[in-house]
Amino acid sequence: MKIQARDFRTQFPVEITIQDGKIAEIKEIETADALPFVAPGLFDLQINGYGGTWFSDENLTVDKCLEALQAHYQYGITHLFPTLITNSYEALENGFSIIRQSCEQEDWANKMVLGCHLEGPYIATEDGPRGAHPLEQVRACDWDEVQRLQKASGDRIRLLTLAPESPGAPELIQNCVANGIAISIGHTAANTEQIEAAVAAGATLSTHLGNGAHGTLRRHPNYIWDQLGEPKLTASIIADGQHLPASVVRSFYFAKGKDGIVLTCDASGLAGCPPGVYDYHGAKFEVLESKRVVIAGQSQFLAGSGVQTDVCIATMIEMTGCSLADAWKMATINPARITNVHCAELVVGHPADLVLFDHDSEKVKLDIKQTIAAGEVAFGSF
């Protein structure tokens, strides 16, 4: 297979030869044709589900899991971390077990799922920092529980979000890091000393910095400043145009730089659903016409995102003025580095996980034309 497109880094036309599922050759060409961009497939480390399916649901099945995973190809996502949020042990065990079975059943799913993200249940109990996580399932840090969930996942848990003030957090962080699980600080009301202790124990990321927080904070110190000013912490942000104002996104970007930001959509299990009110675990959520996912009955408090990583790329460029190449790095290389996994790269010899797209800067949109996973067309045509 040969593909002609514009390299997302240089914008020069190139021809890419794919053989045996890998990139065999990349060469510059001369052409007068209007070509789309080509880039590595996106990698999002925080996706909760899709189309009404939540990866943390106790009723998750292999068929539902595979359907939810496959849907992400249409957004240029070739790799992701299915994310399981705070729930009962039984629900989490089932979710991780189903993801493992899905990966064992379908090779494409095994290649797509670079790992899993456990977001909670060791988080703040306070309204605001807890976000939409169910209070009744929030609990103290438990290394034994993590080990049992890791076994259920087939050793796929690669990232864990916790609050540094959760009882036993420093010890859990040390155990996780020693066993290949990266730690992210999130859904927290921690003080400066607690955040410093978490970083000293091995935490390296902030989960959706600026969200999952109190509506009003003291001006300083507070847990946003403490994380933003900590050079050992990379900041993941939801740059979907709804979770954070442009001024905040710019401030985070200028503070952390292109190497210190991870883009995530934090897509809700209701992403892809039509507008309406939905019930999940006894709570009601609403998908608005704007695709905004909120706690039902109001429009301010969000419950994950209703869009995917492609939107975050286009919005990040519009909000900060960063380059397409730099925004793409924030949704590929940076999250892979933090979690010690290998994502797609536009490099000879690497798996042919590619996305072809147009970038409409006026509409702040990526138009995904085709997604190729391991050398096979997974979505679209070109």
pLDDT of 301: 79
Give CA torsion, residues 240, 246, 250, 256, to 10 deg. Answer: -40
For residue 168, give the nearest of 198, 148, 196, 130 by alpha carbon.
198
Does the structure show a pLDDT above 80 at 268? yes
Q: Provide, rounded to the nearest whole percent, the portion of the chain with pLDDT above 70.
A: 99
- Compute the mean pLDDT over every residue in the chain, rounded to the nearest whole number: 96
Q: Is the pLDDT of residue 302 over 80?
A: yes
Query: Quick one: tokens of 304?
Result: 């994950």
- Looking at domain 42-343, what is its CATH homologous superfamily? Metal-dependent hydrolases (3.20.20.140)
| Strands laid side by side in the 293-295 sheet | 276-280, 283-287, 293-295
High-pLDDT (> 90) share of the chain, %: 93
- Check residue 382 and give its pLDDT: 67
Q: What is the pLDDT of residue 109?
A: 98
pLDDT greater than 70 at residue 342: yes
CA distances (Å), origin 232, targets 184, 195, 259: 11, 11, 12
Q: What are the φ and ψ backbone dihedral angles of 88, each rounded to 5 degrees?
A: -65, 160
pLDDT tens for residues 42-74?
999 999 999 999 999 999 999 999 999 999 999
341 touches 331 (CB < 8 A) = no
Check residue 142 and give its pLDDT: 98
Helix H, strand E, coil C: the string for the chain is CEEEEEECCCCCEEEEEEECCEEEEEEECCCCCCCCEEEECEEEEEECEECCEECCCCCCCHHHHHHHHHHHHHHCEEEEEEEEECCCHHHHHHHHHHHHHHHHHCHHHHHHECCEEEECCCCCCCCCCCCCCCHHHCCCCCHHHHHHHHHHHCCCEEEEEECCCCCCHHHHHHHHHHCCCEEEECCCCCCHHHHHHHHHHCCCEECCCCCCCCCCCCCCCCHHHHHHCCCCCEEEECCCCCCCCHHHHHHHHHHHCCCCEEECCCECCCCCCCCEEEEECCEEEEECCCCCEEECCCCCCECCECCCHHHHHHHHHHHHCCCHHHHHHCCCHHHHHHHCCCCCCCCCCCECCEEEEEEECCCCEEEEEEEEECCEEEEECC
Identify the pLDDT of residue 291: 87
Sign of the C-alpha dihedral computed for residues 255, 257, 260 and 262 taken in this order:
positive
Q: Which of 81-90, 159-168, 273-282 has the lowest mean pLDDT?
A: 273-282
Nearest-angstrom CA–CA distance, 360 and 382:
18
Q: Return the amino acid letter for 329.
A: K
Which residues lie closer than 8 Å to 18 by C-beta, 6 or more apart? Answer: 1, 2, 3, 24, 352, 372, 375
Q: How far apart are CA 309 and CA 42, in angstroms?
A: 7
From the number of C-beta atoms within 10 Å of its C-beta (0-12, 13-18, 19+), residue 117 rates as buried
Joined tokens for residue 290: 């704007």
Which pLDDT tens digit goes with each residue over 103-117? 999 999 999 999 999
- How confident is the model over 292-310, as a mean pLDDT? 87
Domain extents in the chain: 42-343
Q: Is the pLDDT of residue 282 over 80?
A: no
CA distances from 99 to 133, 198, 216 (A): 21, 29, 38
Weakest mean pLDDT among 19-23, 68-72, 81-85, 284-288: 284-288
- Residue 299 pLDDT level (bands cut at 50, 70, 90): confident
Kindly report, residue by residue over 117-144, the tens digit of the pLDDT: 999 999 999 999 999 899 999 999 999 9
Residues 21-44 have pLDDT tens digits of 999 999 999 987 899 999 999 999
Do 136 and 180 touch, CB atoms closer than 8 A? no
Q: Please give the single-letter amino acid code of residue 264.
A: T
What is the structure's pLDDT at 90?
A: 96
- Give CA–CA dist 112/78, Å, rounded: 6
Q: pLDDT tens digit string along 311-335?
A: 999 999 999 999 999 999 999 999 9
**Chain segment 206-265, per-residue pLDDT in tens:** 999 999 999 999 999 999 999 999 999 999 999 999 999 999 999 999 999 999 999 999
Give yes or no for residue 296 having a pLDDT over 90. Answer: no
Write out pLDDT tens, residues 1-11.
999 999 999 99
Give the burial class of 267: count Cβ atoms within 10 A of its Cβ; 0-12 exposed, 13-18 middle, 19 or more buried: buried
Q: Is 80 exceeded by the pLDDT of residue 153?
A: yes
At residue 303, the pLDDT reads: 84
